[in-house]
Amino acid sequence: MIRMKTLFQNIFSEVIGKNVNVQSFQSLSGGCIHQAYSVRTNQGAFFIKLNEKNKLDMFQKEEHSLDALRSNSGLIIPQVVTVGQFENYAYFISEFIERGQASKKYFEHLGTGLAELHQVSNKNYGWKEDNYIGELVQKNKETELWLDFFFEQRLQPQFELAIRNQLISSSYLGQLERLKLKLEDYFPKEKSSLLHGDLWYGNTLASLDEKAALIDPAVYYGHREIELSFMKLFGGFDASCFEAYHEVYPLESNWEDRMSIYNMYALMVHTNLFGKHYFEEVKQTLSLFA
C-alpha cells in the first residue's frame, strides 16, 4: 500500500506538479489487462491505469479513440489528462467519473447517444491507425466495402492468430473463405458508422446524474449492426436502450438475424484471449452458413 501510494505521488507530481498531494487510492475491478485505480488528491479525483512500460502504445491508442468519441458524441467521454511512462510502468490518467445508478434514464441516454454517434460517417470502413481490442491488435486498414473489411480486417486476423496459437485447426480458414462467398449480398447497404468498437456492458457507466459514459474504446468506422450485436451478446443493456436507439436511427426489422455472423468477431477475440471454449459458438455459425 505504501509503495503504491509513493508510486502515485511520484507520477502525479511529475504530471500535475509538485503541489499535488495524493490522499488515497482504491483498486478498481472490471479490467483484466491493466491495473486500474481511483486516486484522490488535493486537486481532485483521477482514474489511472498501469501496465508494463512496453504497453504505452495501448494507452496512446486508447487516448486517440477517446478523443474521436469526444469530438463526435453527446455522451460523457472521460477527458484524458496524459499517458506516459514512469520507471518500469506505462500509465494512463484521466478524469474520474463518479458512478451513479444504471436507471432507465441512463439506458435511454445511452441509446440516443449511440444512435447519434453512429450517424457520424466516413467514405471507407476502418480507421487511420490500428488499435487494440483487449490486448490484441485490431487491424483497421481502410477498405471500401464492409464485406471485405469484416473478413480481411476482423475475422481473418483472429482466425490466423488462433491457428498460430494452436487453438483451432487451419482447416477453418477454408470454411471462412466459403462463408465470405455466401455473404456477398448479406449485409444491408448503409454508410459506415463511427463505432465505440468494444461495447460490452463493462465499458459503459452511469454518472451521478444518470447520464451515460463510454470508456475503453477501440474505435473504427464499421457497420453499426456489429456494435448492437455485440451489446446483445453478453447482455446487461436494458431494452429501453435499444428502443431509444431505434427512435433516433431505426434499424432494419430483421437486423437481429445477422447477429451470429457479426458476433463471430467478438467470439474469436474471446477465443484468443480467454480460451477455445468460446470457439464452439463460432463453429455452430460456420456449420449453419458455410
Residue for grid cell 458476433? 263
Is residue 148 among the annotated active site residues? no
Written as nine digits, the cell of 14 is: 511529475
Nearest to 165 by CA among 157, 153, 177, 154: 157
**Amino acid identity, position 99:** R
Determine how many CB atoms are found less than 10 A away from the CB of residue 186.
Answer: 15
CA 201 to the chain's CA centroid: 10
User: 3-state SS of the chain: helix, strand, coil percent to 5?
Assistant: 45, 20, 30
CA distances from 23 to 26, 55, 83, 87 (A): 11, 27, 21, 22
SS3 call for 139? coil
Catalytic residue among 198, 216, 238, 257: 198
DSSP string, 163-181: HHTTSS-TTHHHHHHHHHH
**Torsions phi, psi of 201, nearest 5?**
-60, -35
Active-site residue numbers?
Answer: 198
